[in-house]
Homo-oligomer: A and B are copies of this chain.
Amino acid sequence: MRHRVVIIGAGFGGIRVARGLQGADVDVTLVDAHNFHTFQPLLYQVATAGLDTDDIAYPIRGIFRRSPVAVRVARVTAIDIEQRIVSTDRGEPLAYDTLVVAAGTVSHDFGIDGVAEHALPLKSVSDAVAIRNHLLDRFESAAIDGMQPGRLDVVICGGGPTGVEMAGGLRELYDRVLEHDYPELPVAEARITVVEMDDQVLPGFADHLRDRAAATLRHRSVDVVTGVAVGQVDAGVVELDDGRRLAADTVVWAAGVRAAPVAELLGIELGRQGRIVVGPDLSVPGHPELFAIGDIAIDPDHPLPQVAQPAIQGGRHVAAQIRRRLDGRDTEPFEYTDKGSMATIGRNEAVTEFPNGWTLAGRFGWLAWLGLHLVYLMGFRNRLNVLVNWAWNYLTYDRASRLLAPSDDD
């Protein structure tokens, strides 16, 4: 019988594992709750009406059209790592010889009151659509029922790349589009606030880039509040630990993540943020047949940032290790190549940090950001559509994706 590989999660990591096994003498099954791969770094563009869902989501079966990967659109309900069986909510349990867990992370509220009830996460396509709908609904509400304090205001909890990019994109949406769409509303007075617990936004970036990002945000009329944590979230108000209260009908939670719940199904001791602890070759110690990659995994000796590159490179590495084992060879340790980091603050402005310490900011940083994201977006068609959409947004200051709840009933 052929060696059976089950991959949980069709994100950056899982896709790369499956691709890396093409042509190998294995049966590959890819399990994901959705039938599409999500280009997560651009979720904020969907939330701010710059791109549509199709532009950043690609059907999994379309990716593996010409290769024999079995796709199962289902949720994992149980994992028996002794019997080597993965159970899902649809279909027969899947027996495996090698299991790769690449399920990523979910939004985490750190036990802060009211986050789950009143704040909107930004981790999935449906989250992004929900934020877009919520925002546009607030504007319609203000236009019909009149303005209320905080009605058009947004507080973004978390000043990492997601929070910063969301704030920049949102301010552009407000200034360039919604101000024209709603001439009757005081859109220019709407407050967009980023709250970051650390002493500056973009923790992990070089200090001068962090300062520049904060200065750019402030120059673009985004309030940047640093060095203070969120105490609790109520309907329409965010309370900070220093007692300040920020009124906002829209609260976006980009402050933290934890491992996807599937990690708990393994029945092993987990690391920080509930992540799966892996050894140098990305397998779980004591379980050479069990690998974990990307955001859901952590090698305590070499912790990596929870961004796309570790998942992509980890996925390629694990595929190579599975092949080595089939050839009777030992696994090799994973060597991560830092390719730098990037965050865009909107039109003509991004900060880029190269692994050698060089940095790039402003228009050239933005062009670098643009090119890289186009290259990494899956599928030629999406790339072309994204280019058309971005060119249109750039040239006209318009955004066409601002449809309110198109999946609601009539």
Contact = CB atoms under 8 A, between A and B. Distances in A.
A53 interface: yes
Contacts of A127: 410
A33 interface: yes
B65 A180 contact: yes
Contact of A53 (B52, B58, B71, B396): B52
B401 A54 contact: yes
Contacts of A256: none
Interface stretch (A211-219, A307-315, A338-346, A377-385): A377-385
A385 B389 contact: yes
A76 interface: no
A91 B144 CA distance: 5
Contacts of A82: none
Contacts of A53: 52, 403, 406
Interface string A46-85: 0000001110011101100100101111100000000000
Interface stretch (A118-126, A188-196, A272-280, A325-333): A118-126
Given A35-B136, A392-B384, A61 B181 contact: yes
A246 interface: no
Nearest to A393: B381
Q: Is the interface of A mostly helix, strand, loop or mixed?
A: mixed
A62 B398 contact: yes
B61 A182 contact: yes
A181 B74 contact: no
A143 B72 CA distance: 8
A301 interface: no
Contacts of A58: 400
B403 A54 contact: yes
Contacts of A407: 126, 129-130, 407
A408 B34 CA distance: 10
Interface in A78-129: 90-91, 106, 123-127, 129
A291 interface: no
Nearest to A46: B406
A193 to B, nearest CB: 25
A158 B126 CA distance: 34
B73 A140 contact: yes
A36 interface: yes
A145 interface: yes
A147 to B, nearest CB: 13
A410 B180 contact: no
Contacts of A385: 385, 388-389
B73 A404 contact: yes
Given A90-B141, A381-B388, 17 more contacts: A33-B410, A36-B404, A54-B401, A61-B182, A62-B181, A62-B400, A73-B140, A90-B140, A125-B406, A126-B410, A127-B410, A129-B406, A381-B396, A381-B400, A382-B400, A384-B392, A407-B407
25 contacts: A34-B403, A34-B404, A35-B140, A52-B53, A57-B406, A59-B403, A62-B398, A65-B180, A68-B183, A72-B143, A72-B144, A73-B404, A74-B144, A90-B141, A90-B144, A91-B145, A123-B410, A124-B410, A125-B403, A129-B407, A130-B407, A379-B400, A381-B398, A384-B392, A388-B388
Interface of A: 33-36, 52-54, 57-59, 61-62, 65, 68, 70-74, 90-91, 106, 123-127, 129-130, 136, 140-141, 143-145, 177, 180-184, 379-382, 384-385, 388-389, 392, 396, 398, 400-404, 406-410
